[in-house]
Amino acid sequence: MVVARLRPDGSVKVDRDRLDQLYDQLGTSGADGVVSRAMEELAVRLSKVESSYKKGDFEEMQRAARSMIAISEQIGMVTFAQVAEDVKTLALTEDSTALAACVARLMRIGENSLLAVWDLQGASL
């Protein structure tokens, strides 16, 4: 018998050009505010997805995931938006295994994306 060890990938892609564009359009202060509010909203909605999943409230989970897509795209969180889209799509299907895997991935990617943008925000944009 062969045992395969799975190593979940939590790497993220942040669209630095999108962030630069946001800073060019709004200036440092304005963009900092937008990014900070977006990150707060994403953290709240990430928690909402997790709690909705645990409660079996898949419609609420789908709504939370849908709202995360636009917010994450606005601040260049490419991978986060893609995984949120997967969760949104799977939320109302019968594929509980795929949904469980995608929710777990969204938690990993969400945390890593928030940290990546936080780090970039601290760097000179």
In a domain, 10, yes or no: no
Q: For residue 3, what pLDDT is reported? A: 59
Q: For residue 119, what pLDDT is reported? A: 78
Of the candidates 67, 111, 61, which has an alpha carbon nearest to the alpha carbon of residue 87?
61
Mean pLDDT by 10 residues, the chain (125 residues): 62 86 94 93 96 97 96 93 97 94 95 83 55
In a domain, 34, yes or no: yes
Q: pLDDT digits over 28-47, tens only?
A: 999 999 999 999 999 999 99
Of the candidates 98, 96, 75, 94, which has an alpha carbon nearest to the alpha carbon of residue 86?
98
Task: Please give the tally of structural domains in the chain.
Answer: 1
Q: How far is CA 10 from CA 30, 31, 92, 105, in A?
A: 30, 26, 25, 7
In a domain, 100, yes or no: yes
* CATH code, domain carrying 21: 1.20.120
Find out whether 43 and 106 touch, Cβ atoms under 8 Å. Answer: no
3-class DSSP state of 119: helix
29-45 burial, b at 16+ Cβ within 10 Å, e below that, comes to eebeebbeebbeebeeb
> End-to-end alpha-carbon separation of the chain, Å?
52
In a domain, 7, yes or no: no
Classify the C-alpha dihedral 29-30-35-41 as positive or negative. Answer: positive
In a domain, 28, yes or no: yes
- The parent domain of residue 98 ranges over 16-122
Q: For residue 124, what pLDDT is reported? A: 46
